[in-house]
């Protein structure tokens, strides 16, 4: 979907440009099945789309860090953290 087009509901879609220039159509909390999480390892607060301050790249509206939706994906560790751990664990 291009910017400024209408989605299947006829409402102009909200979008978020990610760090890699992907365009995401923001879903309503209902469409994303946003709910209180029952698994503390899968919550919005540790999702790759969660933004500090209660926002999400994929779901519209205020987002509680201890909730979850069907779009949840684990946070991708920063490459610098991975390299640092490798150097520490493999140094002589």
Domain annotation for the chain: domains and CATH numbers: 15-90 (4.10.490.10)
pLDDT of residue 18: 46
Examine the pLDDT at 55 and tell me if it is beyond 90: yes
pLDDT of residue 61: 96
pLDDT of residue 51: 93
pLDDT of residue 5: 43
Residues with Cβ within 8 Å of residue 65, at least 6 apart in sequence: 43, 44, 45, 50, 54
Half-sphere exposure of 22 toward its Cβ, with a 13 Å CA cutoff?
A: 9
Q: Which two tokens stand for residue 85?
A: 């751990």
The confidence band for 25, taking pLDDT boundaries of 50, 70 and 90, is confident
pLDDT tens digits for 68-88? 999 999 987 665 555 556 656
């Amino acid at each position: 979907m291009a910017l400024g087009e209408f989605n299947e509901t006829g409402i102009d879609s909200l979008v978020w440009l990610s760090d890699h220039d992907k365009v995401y159509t923001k879903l309503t909390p209902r469409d994303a099945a946003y709910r209180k999480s029952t698994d503390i390892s899968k919550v919005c607060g540790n999702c790759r789309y969660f933004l500090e301050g209660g926002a999400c790249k994929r779901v519209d509206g205020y987002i509680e860090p201890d909730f979850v939706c069907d779009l949840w994906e684990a946070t991708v560790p920063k490459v610098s953290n991975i390299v640092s751990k490798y150097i520490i664990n493999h140094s002589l």
